[in-house]
Chains A and B, each alone.
Chain A
C-alpha cells in the first residue's frame, strides 16, 4: 500500500537543497556563481550543500578553466531528477490530503 509520503526525500527537502535542485532541474549545466546568487548562499555554504548532494549522487560537478580562471559547473544527475520528481509527487500527495 502506498502512502502520501512515499518518495518523500528528507535530504532534498531541506530548504536550501530543495532550492538548489529545483534551480538545476530545468538546466543542463549551471555555474557555481549563478547558483550561489540565485539561492542566496555564501560560497562555503553552497559548497557544503553541493558536496552533500554530490555524495548522494544527485548532483555532478565539473571543474574546468576559462583562460586561467577556474570555473565550477554543476548539473542534476538522472538520479537527482528522479528523486526530485518523486519528492514533488510526495509533496503534492500530502497537499492533496488537505483538499
Chain B
C-alpha cells in the first residue's frame, strides 16, 4: 500500500481521535443503579448501628466494637470495589479501572477506607463525647462521602482520559 495523501492522512487522524474519545466516554458512562449502591450502604450501616446494642448484650462490648468497625470497613471496601467496577460500562474497561484485575487498587481503597473511617470515628467522638453517637455520625459521614465523591471522581478520571487522548505521543 502506498502512503496516503496529506488530506487522507488528516482524515485518518481525525477518525483515530474520534474513536478514542468515543471509547473514553463509553468506558466512563454511569449506569443509574450505581447510585442505588449508596442507598444500600446506608441501609447496611443503619442495620449495623441498630443491632449494636443486641450484639453488645450477647457478646460484650469489644465484640460489638470489632463487628461494627469490621463491618464498616468491609462494606466500604466492597462498595468502592463494586462501584469502581460498575461506574464504567461492563463492556468497555478503562486501564486500571477494573478492580477485579487490580489488587493494588483494592488494597489502596481498603487502606484509605480504614484510615478514613477511623479518623472520622475518633473525630466525631472528640466533637460529641459519646461513642455511640460518634459511631452513627461516622457511618452517615462515610456513606455521604462515598456518595458525594463517586461522581466527581468519575468525571475527573474521564477528563484525564480525554486529555490523554488529545496528547500527542512523543515521536
With A27-B23, A95-B10 known as contacts, the answer to whether A18 contacts B3 (CB < 8 A) is no
Instruction: Among A5, A15, A22, find the residue whose CB has the most chain B CB atoms closer than 10 A.
Output: A22
Is residue B164 within 8 Å, beta carbon to beta carbon, of the partner chain? yes
- Please name the residue on chain A nearest to B168 by beta carbon: A92
- Give complex CA distance A69, B34 in Å: 24
The answer to whether A19 touches B15, judged by C-beta atoms less than 8 angstroms apart, is yes
Is residue A38 within 8 Å, beta carbon to beta carbon, of the partner chain? yes
The answer to whether A88 touches B16, judged by C-beta atoms less than 8 angstroms apart, is yes
The answer to whether A30 touches B92, judged by C-beta atoms less than 8 angstroms apart, is yes
- Give complex CA distance A89, B18 in Å: 16
Chain A's interface: helix, strand, loop or mixed, by majority? Answer: helix
The answer to whether B20 touches A8, judged by C-beta atoms less than 8 angstroms apart, is no
The answer to whether B15 touches A15, judged by C-beta atoms less than 8 angstroms apart, is yes
Band of interface residues on B: 35 or more
The answer to whether B168 touches A94, judged by C-beta atoms less than 8 angstroms apart, is no
A-B contact count (CB 8 A): 101
A-facing mask of B88-102, CB < 8 A → 1, else 0? Answer: 011111111110010
- Give complex CA distance A79, B140 in Å: 48
Interface set, chain A 49-99, CB cutoff 8 A to B: 84-85, 88-92, 94-95, 97-98
The answer to whether A95 touches B20, judged by C-beta atoms less than 8 angstroms apart, is no
Residues of A near B17 (CB, < 8 A) are 22
Instruction: Among B19, B27, B165, find the residue whose CB has the most chain A CB atoms closer than 10 A.
Output: B19
Chain B's interface: helix, strand, loop or mixed, by majority? Answer: helix
Residues of A near B165 (CB, < 8 A) are 26
Residues of A near B1 (CB, < 8 A) are 10, 13
- Give complex CA distance A39, B5 in Å: 24
- Give complex CA distance A94, B44 in Å: 59
Residues of A near B13 (CB, < 8 A) are 88, 91-92, 95
Is residue B135 within 8 Å, beta carbon to beta carbon, of the partner chain? no
The answer to whether A26 touches B20, judged by C-beta atoms less than 8 angstroms apart, is yes
Shortest Cβ gap from B18 to chain A (Å): 8
The answer to whether A91 touches B15, judged by C-beta atoms less than 8 angstroms apart, is no
- Give complex CA distance A32, B24 in Å: 16
- Give complex CA distance A9, B3 in Å: 9
With A19-B19, A94-B3 known as contacts, the answer to whether A85 contacts B169 (CB < 8 A) is yes
Residues of A near B5 (CB, < 8 A) are 94
A-facing mask of B3-37, CB < 8 A → 1, else 0? Answer: 11111011011011111101110110000000000
